[in-house]
Structures are given as C-alpha cells and as structure tokens.
Structure 1
Amino acid sequence: MNASLPLSGLRVLDLSRVLAGPLAAQVLGDLGADVVKVEHPARGDDTRDWGVRTGARNSAYFNSMNRNKRSITLDLQQPEGQRIARELALQSDVVIQNFKFGGTAKMGLDYDTLAAAHPGLVYCSITGYDPTGPEAARPGYDLVVQGETGLMGLNGEEGQAPLKFGVAMVDLFTGMSAGQAILAALWARERNGQGRHVQLCLHDCGIMLSVYYGMEALIQQADPPKYGNAHPSIVPYGVFDAADGPLVVTVGNNAQFQRFCRDVIQRPELAEDERYATNAARSIHRHELLPLIKAELARRPRHDLLEALAQAGIPCGEVLGVMEALTSPRTQAAGGVLQTQLTDGTPVPVQAPPYRFEGARMPVRLPPPMLGEHTAAVLHERLGLDAAGVDALRAAGVV
C-alpha cells in the first residue's frame, strides 16, 4: 500500500462487469484504493472474451478497465459464494454493482441488506434506466442508449444516417460520473458517518451527454443540424485536408481569421470581403467560404501549414490514427502509455491513469489481473482462510 496516494486505505469491492462499473472501480483504484474485483470462476468478466487477446484469459478490452485491481473468483449462484461476498462487502468502504434489476436482493447483496449491518457503506448501483420507473428491469446497452438519447442522431455529417460514437461514450461517461458520485458520498460520510446508496443509470448519463445540443433542441423545439467535424457557430473550425494528410484548424475570432487569410493561405482579400468579415457573417456564408479555404489548404503540405498556423497564433494540430497517437513523442514524453506484464509473464501495454498530483501521475500499481489470481491472498487477508480452506472452496466450485 502506498500511503501517499489520495485513496490509500480505502477498500472497494467491485461486483460489476463489462464497462461502466469496472471503470468507476478503476478510477478509485487509480487514486490508490484497494479494489477487489469479483468474477465468475469459469468465465470471469464478459470482456475477458472480447477483442484482441493478451494472454490466455485477458483481452485488450478487459485490460483497459481493470488495472490497479485484484481479481478473485466467486460463484455468486452458490450460497457459500454469496456468504463470502457479503463478508467481503461488510469489510469494504465501497461496493459497486451492475447486476440485473433485483439480482442483488436474491443474493443478499442489495443495499438495504448490507447497509443494515454496515451503515457506513457507500454502495453504487449502475442500471440501464430509471430504477424507480417502468423500465427498471430493462437491461442497458451503450449502443441502444446512444440511439434512445439522441446521441446517434447528432453525430456524423449532414445527411448521414445515425452514427454511434467511436467508443462506448455512454458507458464511459456513466463510469466516470459514478466515480465522482462515490467520492462525494465518501466525503459526506466523513461528516456524518453515514453511507449512501449512489445510483447511476445509462439513460440519464446519455441525456446529459447531449449538453449544448440538447439545450438548443429544447429552445428551438427541433433537432439541431449535424455539422460533423465542423463547428455549428464558428467558421472556419474543423478538420481539413492538407496535401499530405488531415489537420485541425480552429479560427476562433475575427483577428485570427485576418491572420489566417493573410499569413497562412495568402488570401487577404477574403478577410476584407464583407461576407466573411465577421464570424456571424462567415457562419451564414459558410457554404461559399469553406470550398475556397479547402482548396487553398489542399495545395500545401501539412507540416508547412502547422508551422504557419502556429506562428499566426491559431490553434491547430495533426489528425492522427490511434496507433500514431499512442506512440507519438508527446504521449511517450508524458508517460501516457506504460509497459507492464501479466503475472504469467505476458507483456502488455497499459494506458496510464490521467490524474496528476503535485506534478506526478498516479501509478499503475497492479497490471490488469489474471482471472482469480488474488483469490487465495484476499480470502486469507480478509477472512482468515488458509490454503486448505481455499482448496476446499475451489474443489466445491465456489471459487
């Protein structure tokens, strides 16, 4: 245990699987908490079987959401597995779960049951929909919720069919929001000693993700238009093609536009044209202006454009592929990707936690765990079970 980490000493029991719940638990682990992840003895977390394999029972998907955790196996369909999980929960500060509606009550792992014996417990439930509404029992899937919350409708280019985000944004946003809410509940517990039942649902978080587009839709009582990589009210602002690759150009005000025309594309007359003199005018006449700008940028090498834009004080950047971004000098210098290895010796890269305190990035203390690799250690440490006791549980299929 590293006592210098913000959440050092905090015990978290992660009963969740797939993405939103595991991300919430990983956030706490990244900040120093001791996170124990409970998995099924045979299949483990569903994501161990998703995507590119890294070792016999790990995958890139699983690894991305489960660093800084210890893994134990428990069959929660067996009474003994349920009993052990309850004992572990009663020794924890935080429990995170995303079981199907009513599933935890059947196992005696619901908030009411645990809080009766452990009033200081912070218990986080993640569901698909309003847990008090008519769809409470409906399972939540990121792609479905992206469609139902309008996110697919606002994503993509004008005239394009509904398009999902490149990653599971609703799951990710829900997981990060859950981490924030858990920390708030822990802070409240410091004042009054009482735990809380923290509840997040994917649909709520998907609605929140519509942000200013959602506000515009409510004000105008209509769907906002799609702008793709462009900005709805700033021109020129977006992704453009140079002669040898794409780049981002963000001309944020009229002074920048004058410098852009004069010093970058050598078309000063565009800045003097009354149709383009102000941002409001450029937005109205974007369909006339943008083809002219695109033609000028397409004639020039990206490196030359980036230099000219930087000298003109205009924010800009390359558009990189994922591999290019992860292996870029910028990412490497910042320590954004680390090399580690599973306990079986399989080398695996991991993305480093984004949090920094006093200039130091939070460490990767534990690589993504192999299935159940910490079962014996955790059960001995928390419940006093010796090797023979763990072997007996293993023989019975409980762990």
Structure 2
Amino acid sequence: MTNKSSLPLAGVRVLDLSRVLAGPWCAMVLGDLGAEVIKVEHPVRGDDTRDWGVRVGATETAYFNSVNRNKRSICLDLKTPEGQEIARDLIRKSDVVIQNFKFGDIERLGLGYEAMKEGQPGLIYCSITGYDRTGPEAARPGYDLVIQGEAGLMALNGEPTQPPLKFGVAAVDMMTGMYAAQGVLAALYDRERTGLGRHIGMALFDCGLMITAYYGLEALLRGDDPPRYGNAHPSIMPYGVYEAEDGPLVIAVGNNSQFLRFCTDVIARPDIAADPRFKTNLERTKHREELAPALRAEVFKRKRKDLLEQMARVGIPCGEVAGLYEAMTSSRAVDSGLVTRLPHPVAGHVDVMASPYRFDGERLPVRAAPPTLGEGTRQVLGDLLGLSEETLRGLKERGVV
C-alpha cells in the first residue's frame, strides 16, 4: 500500500469552496494525488448533489459520492460575517482554493483572489465559471446541459435521424474539472520556481468547445456542420457498433491491413477487401453507404463470441457492448481494483470508485470515503484553526457551522 507521505501531492492543502461537479471533480483529482482536501458546505443543505440521484446513508447520494472521495467535509455558512472570517483563516492555511460561485459572488463575500492574495503571494486560486470572466457573458450561470447545446456537442452526438442528443454523463463539467486540476498542478510546479501563486480561470464553454476536437476543426473546413455518425466513426471505416446474431459488439478496424484480415479471416469475404472502393480507409469512408450494409449483414450471421475470438486471434481491436452494471462488476474492473468498498456509519458500507492513477505500478489508494455532511467540522476547525470546543458550540448555536 502506498504510504500517505509518498503520494505526489502530500503536504498540499486544498480548500474546496465549490459545489456540484466541475469544481469538486478538480478537488477530487488533487485529493487522489495526495492533497489534503477540505470541502466547505452549507450547514443545512450541503452540496446540491447530496440531494441528487440514489440515496446512500443519510446525507450522501451516488452522484455526490462519485466526485467527493478523499475529502473532509466541514459546514460553514459563508453568508455570515463569522463564517467568512473562518473561511479567510482557512484560505491563509491553504495552498490551493477552488471556487465556482456565480460571477462576483465570491468577491462580495470578501473571499476573492485579489483580496486573499494580499499577504499570501503563493496562493493558487482556481475560479470556474460558465463563460469567459472577461467577456460580456461573464455573469451568466453555467450548466453542463446548456453548454453541451451551445458548444455544438449535442449537434455532433447521436444518430443522423435523431434530434440533437446530450452525452450520457456531464462531459463538460468533468472535462472542465480535469483541465482545472491540470492548471493547478502547473501552478504548483511554477510556484516551486518562483514562490508565487496564480489565479487560474476556467470556463465551461471553453472546455466544452475543446471536446469537439476534430469535429470542430472539420466544421471550420466545411463551413458547415459535419454529418453525425452515431456509433460509427467520422474518419475510420469500419469502426463502430455492430449487431451480431446474439448481441452488439464493437469492431474497430484501424488500418488497411486489419481490414484485409477482417474480410479474409473473420467474415470470409475477400472480395470486399479486393473491391477498389474499399481498399484504403479514405476510399472506405467515401463509400461507407455501400460498404456498411454488406458488413452489417455478414456480422449479423455470426455469434458474438465467435466474432470476438476470431478478431482477437488476428489482431483486430474489438469488444462486447456491456451493460453498465455488467461493466462495474466485471472481473476486469474488480481485479484491477477500480471499485472499492469502504465502511459507512449509516449504510454499513459504500462502494467508491478508485483513482485511475498508478504510480510505480501501484494504484493510488482511496484514503477516505466521500464524507458525511460536516463530519470533519470539529476536527478541522479545532486542529487547523485552534478553535475551542466552547467556541465551536457557540458557532453551531448561531448556525455558522
């Protein structure tokens, strides 16, 4: 088991003032890498996601748990002067602050970057907003679903016969959280050289547009929207989901030699590989309307297990299409330690996603299950800020913590 002190970000303290997904995802990534993460929540309602999805215990949900492992939770009403002063004290003892308040709100609380960097030049401060903080839409709230629409993501997703379709998960929020974590890591590295912190600004729209990747650049070249291909690939053929006799599978033919082997050794149709229209990938994508029905017909004649075995034997990337429960409980996930079960004070136990990171061949550990609401308030404020039990009782009575 990895020693806590050997984790890459051991000794870094992160104050997570964010909620819902993008900001908490950023903080969780830093926590996975070894940072001490203190999540600040409202004393009554906590993070919004404690009320989203399937309930776990008394104060958590599967949604909340997916983005809050390796954190402590403290309750603090930031609308009270006392709560703001405690937050300022916590910021002064932190290396990194993450916040995704509506534009301008954090400054009105006296907790903005300009106010907090005074006397703390090494502070790294990450602000996540919906849109460019310097642009005309700075004050607009940002929501993943709205951004998926505005950034063109819905327009590229789904089958051509369908209306625009959102991603199955909040992809913009998650990508923004990952980009934000990268920015924090870069700022931590830079601070080692300069001793100075940075203010990192992340916008959901910016990151949503990045997800369009080659689709976005193709739209500029075309001067129009590229076609939607559903489960097929816009640039590679055949590459997508096919229906076998007994269920769906993924076939990912990545080059011309693989296509030759697929036609010859898997579906026994060397005549297709010999057709000039299908000899190269560029030609296959031009003639996908003629090629696709022939391939679908051949795949549908065969059982999924036989196809997968034959393709694996000749080096063609492939896999079955699993249900989500099937994937989560598969030996591939379980043996790799991607899901871990930890004790829970109310539910008895809770399943938690593990970190995807491996260092020196070892997966980084889940050091703490997603916290119950306010579980760390007394310990964090007592140990870190030196608040006495009497002071904490008074704060609790006044609704500050």
Taking structure 2 as the reference length, the TM-score comes to 0.98
Amino acid at match of 2:236: I
Structure 2 counterpart SS, 1:125: strand
Amino acid at match of 2:177: G
The alpha-carbon deviation at position 345 of structure 1 amounts to 5.2
The alpha-carbon deviation at position 277 of structure 1 amounts to 2.1
Identify the residue that residue 81 of structure 1 maps to in structure 2: 83
Identify the residue that residue 315 of structure 2 maps to in structure 1: 313
Structure 1 counterpart SS, 2:122: coil
CA distance in 1, matches of 2:105, 2:119: 19
CA distance in 2, matches of 1:295, 1:197: 56
The alpha-carbon deviation at position 365 of structure 1 amounts to 0.3
Matched, 1:243 2:250: no
The alpha-carbon deviation at position 117 of structure 1 amounts to 2.4
Contact 1:275 1:282 in 2 (8 A): yes
Contact 1:41 1:398 in 2 (8 A): yes
CA distance in 2, matches of 1:112, 1:278: 57
1:115 to 117, 120, 127: 117
Matched, 1:190 2:221: no
Q: Give unpaired runs (5+ residues) of structure 2.
A: none
Structure 1 counterpart SS, 2:6: coil
Matched, 1:328 2:330: yes
Identify the residue that residue 368 of structure 1 maps to in structure 2: 370
CA distance in 2, matches of 1:289, 1:10: 55
How do 1:342-357 residues align onto structure 2 when only pairs under 5 Å count? 342-344=344-346, 346-357=348-359
CA distance in 1, matches of 2:254, 2:134: 45
Amino acid at match of 2:86: I
Deviates more, 1:380-389 or 1:351-360: 380-389
Contact 2:56 2:347 in 1 (8 A): no
Deviates more, 1:239-248 or 1:386-395: 386-395
Contact 1:54 1:346 in 2 (8 A): no
Identify the residue that residue 41 of structure 2 maps to in structure 1: 39
Deviates more, 1:283-292 or 1:330-339: 283-292
Contact 1:246 1:318 in 2 (8 A): yes
Identify the residue that residue 280 of structure 2 maps to in structure 1: 278
Q: In the TM superposition, what whole-angstrom CA distance separates every residue of 1:326-360 from its partner, at most 9, and x where no partner exists?
A: 11111111111111122345311011000000011
Identify the residue that residue 305 of structure 2 maps to in structure 1: 303
Structure 1 counterpart SS, 2:277: coil
Matched, 1:213 2:215: yes
CA distance in 2, matches of 1:264, 1:138: 54
Amino acid at match of 2:174: L
1:66 to 52, 65, 68: 68
Amino acid at match of 1:88: L
Structure 2 counterpart SS, 1:229: coil
CA distance in 2, matches of 1:293, 1:143: 35
Amino acid at match of 2:92: L
CA distance in 1, matches of 2:134, 2:189: 26
Identify the residue that residue 337 of structure 1 maps to in structure 2: 339
Structure 2 counterpart SS, 1:184: helix
After superposition, the CA RMSD in angstroms is: 1.0
Identify the residue that residue 288 of structure 1 maps to in structure 2: 290
Identify the residue that residue 53 of structure 2 maps to in structure 1: 51
The alpha-carbon deviation at position 275 of structure 1 amounts to 2.2
Q: In the TM superposition, what whole-angstrom CA distance separates every residue of 1:299-331 from its partner, at most 9, and x where no partner exists?
A: 111111000001111110111111111111111
Structure 2 counterpart SS, 1:203: helix
1:202 to 204, 210, 218: 204
Contact 2:58 2:346 in 1 (8 A): no
The alpha-carbon deviation at position 387 of structure 1 amounts to 1.7
Q: Give unpaired runs (5+ residues) of structure 1.
A: none
Amino acid at match of 2:282: A
Identify the residue that residue 138 of structure 1 maps to in structure 2: 140
The alpha-carbon deviation at position 256 of structure 1 amounts to 1.3
Amino acid at match of 2:204: L
Contact 2:40 2:74 in 1 (8 A): yes
Aligned length: 399
CA distance in 1, matches of 2:6, 2:69: 19
CA distance in 2, matches of 1:188, 1:279: 44
Identify the residue that residue 148 of structure 1 maps to in structure 2: 150
The alpha-carbon deviation at position 98 of structure 1 amounts to 0.4
The alpha-carbon deviation at position 250 of structure 1 amounts to 1.1
CA distance in 2, matches of 1:158, 1:102: 41
Contact 1:258 1:268 in 2 (8 A): yes
CA distance in 2, matches of 1:387, 1:344: 25
Structure 1 counterpart SS, 2:265: helix
Matched, 1:6 2:8: yes
CA distance in 1, matches of 2:63, 2:185: 25
Amino acid at match of 1:307: E
Amino acid at match of 2:308: L
How do 1:148-167 residues align onto structure 2 when only pairs under 5 Å count? 148-167=150-169
Amino acid at match of 1:108: G
Taking structure 1 as the reference length, the TM-score comes to 0.98
Amino acid at match of 1:22: P
1:172 to 171, 174, 192: 174
Q: In the TM superposition, what whole-angstrom CA distance separates every residue of 1:210-267 from its partner, at most 9, and x where no partner exists?
A: 1111111112211111111111122111100111111110112222111111111111
The alpha-carbon deviation at position 390 of structure 1 amounts to 1.1
Amino acid at match of 2:128: I
Contact 1:342 1:368 in 2 (8 A): no
Amino acid at match of 2:105: G
CA distance in 2, matches of 1:25, 1:146: 23
2:231 to 197, 204, 229: 229
CA distance in 2, matches of 1:145, 1:243: 39
